Amino acid sequence: MKIKLIVTAACAAGCAALNAATLSVPTAVQSRPDPASAVIAVLKAGSEQPAATDKAGPAPAGWAAVEVAGPF
């Protein structure tokens, strides 16, 4: 099941370049674009950055909307 999730752009250097970039640092995946929201996954440094999506609407500045597979 895929659910639209938000990835913290502060941890994902180069948020604007989401074209299959490799993450340089561990990146928190959160269900909402809010630093206080629960972290549901952490993408490891060196893993491929998920593709951006606009299915949830535009993400706020400093955040990127992505789809991540999982039972969330």
Where in the chain are the domains? 1-72
pTM equals: 0.60
For 25, half-sphere exposure in the C-beta direction (CA atoms, 13 angstrom radius) is: 11
- Residue 61 CA to residue 9 CA, distance in Å, equals 9
**Please, are residues 40 and 66 in contact by the beta-carbon 8 Å criterion?**
no
pLDDT for res 45: 94
Supply the pLDDT for residue 71: 75
Q: CA of 12: how far to CAs of 1, 5, 26, 58, in Å?
A: 24, 14, 8, 17
pLDDT higher than 80, residue 2: no
Which token pair is 22? 């490799």
pLDDT digit string, tens, across residues 21-60: 899 999 999 988 999 998 988 999 999 988 888 887 888 9
What pLDDT is attached to residue 35?
92
| Closest residue by Cα to residue 24 from 52, 50, 47 | 47
